[in-house]
C-alpha cells in the first residue's frame, strides 16, 4: 500500500492508449497545467505549453505526425500505417511542451513538467500518456505552419507532449511489470 496519496498517484499511474471523447472540466485541466508550471526550470521562460482541445485540430496534427513518423523506419511505418492508427488515441486534450534551446537542458525542463502533469492528472482521476508522437508533426516541411497555427514562437522547440482524457480502455501495462531497473545503493 502506498504510504500517502502522492505516492499512490505516482505508483498507480499507467499510460492510457484509448480515450473517451468527453472533455476535461476547465478547473481540472487548469490544475494539471498549474502542476506542469510548478516543475523545476532552468530559466522562467525555458518552456511553454500549447493546450489543444479541438479534436479536429488534434486529428489533423496526428495525421501530420504520422506522415513524418512513417519516414523514420520500418518499425514506425508498420505501426503508423495500420488502418485507423491514431498516435493520440482519441485524447480530447493534447498539451505540447516547447523548450527554449537558449537555456541549457530545455528538454529536461519540459520532461519535468510532463511528469508533474501526469501525476497531477492521475491524482485528479484523469488518464494520461506521455507521447513524443505529436512532435513528429514538427519534423517536416509543414513545421512552420504548425508552429504558426499553435502560436509557438520561432525560438521555441516542441519536444514533448501529454495526452489527457478519460480512459476508454485499461492501460496495456500491468503494475507488476515495474521496479525492474538497476538500483545500486553504494
Ligand atoms: C520520452 C517519452 C516518450 C514517449 N512517447 C510515447 C509515444 O509517442 N506514444 C506512446 O504511446 N507512449 C509513449 N511513451 C510512454 C511509454 O511508452 C510508457 O511510459 C512506458 O511504456 C511505461 O509504461 P507506463 O507509462 O504505463 O508506466 C513515452 C514515454 C517517454 C518517457
- The pTM score is 0.96
Mutate to test the pocket of ligand 1, among 132, 139, 161, 169 (most ligand atoms within 8 A of CB): 132
Ligand 1, pocket-test mutation among 18, 75, 119, 130, most atoms within 8 A of CB: 130
* Ligand 1 atom closest to residue 111's alpha carbon, by position in its atom list: 1
Digit-coded pLDDT (tens) for 111-133:
999 999 999 999 999 999 999 99
Residue 27 near residue 33, CB atoms below 8 Å: no
**Which of 15, 58, 115, when mutated, tests ligand 1's pocket best, judged by the most ligand atoms within 8 Å of its CB?**
15
15 lines ligand 1 (CB under 6 A): yes
In ligand 1, which atom is closest to the CA atom of 133?
8
- The tens digit of pLDDT for each residue in 160-179 reads 999 999 999 887 766 557 88
d(CA 4, CA 163): 26
The H-or-E segment that residue 47 falls in is strand 47-52
Assign 99 to helix, strand or coil. strand
Residue 146 grid coordinates: 504548425
Domain ranges of the chain: 38-169
| Nearest atom, ligand 1, residue 173 CA | 26
| Model pLDDT for residues 38-76, shown as the tens digit of each residue | 999 999 899 999 999 999 999 999 999 999 999 999 999
CATH architecture of 38-169: 3-Layer(aba) Sandwich (3.40)
Question: What pLDDT, on a 0 to 100 scale, did the predictor assign at position 17?
Answer: 96
In angstroms, the CA 40 to CA 30 distance is 18
Amino acid at each position: 500500500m502506498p504510504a500517502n496519496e502522492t505516492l499512490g498517484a505516482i505508483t498507480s499511474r499507467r499510460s492510457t492508449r484509448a480515450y473517451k471523447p468527453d472533455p476535461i472540466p476547465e478547473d481540472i485541466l487548469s490544475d494539471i497545467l498549474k502542476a506542469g508550471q510548478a516543475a523545476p526550470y532552468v530559466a522562467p521562460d525555458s518552456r511553454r505549453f500549447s493546450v489543444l482541445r479541438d479534436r479536429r485540430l488534434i486529428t489533423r496534427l496526428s495525421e501530420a505526425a504520422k506522415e513524418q513518423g512513417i519516414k523514420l523506419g520500418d518499425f514506425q511505418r508498420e505501426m503508423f500505417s495500420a488502418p485507423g492508427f491514431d498516435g493520440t488515441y482519441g485524447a480530447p486534450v493534447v498539451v505540447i511542451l516547447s523548450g527554449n534551446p537558449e537555456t541549457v537542458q530545455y528538454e529536461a525542463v519540459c520532461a519535468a513538467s510532463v511528469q508533474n502533469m501526469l501525476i497531477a492528472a492521475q491524482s485528479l482521476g484523469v488518464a494520461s500518456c506521455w507521447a513524443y508522437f505529436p512532435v513528429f508533426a514538427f519534423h517536416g516541411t509543414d513545421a512552420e505552419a504548425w508552429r504558426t497555427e499553435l502560436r509557438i514562437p520561432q525560438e521555441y522547440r516542441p519536444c514533448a507532449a501529454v495526452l489527457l482524457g478519460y480512459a476508454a480502455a485499461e492501460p496495456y501495462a500491468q503494475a507488476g511489470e515495474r521496479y525492474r531497473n538497476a538500483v545500486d545503493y553504494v
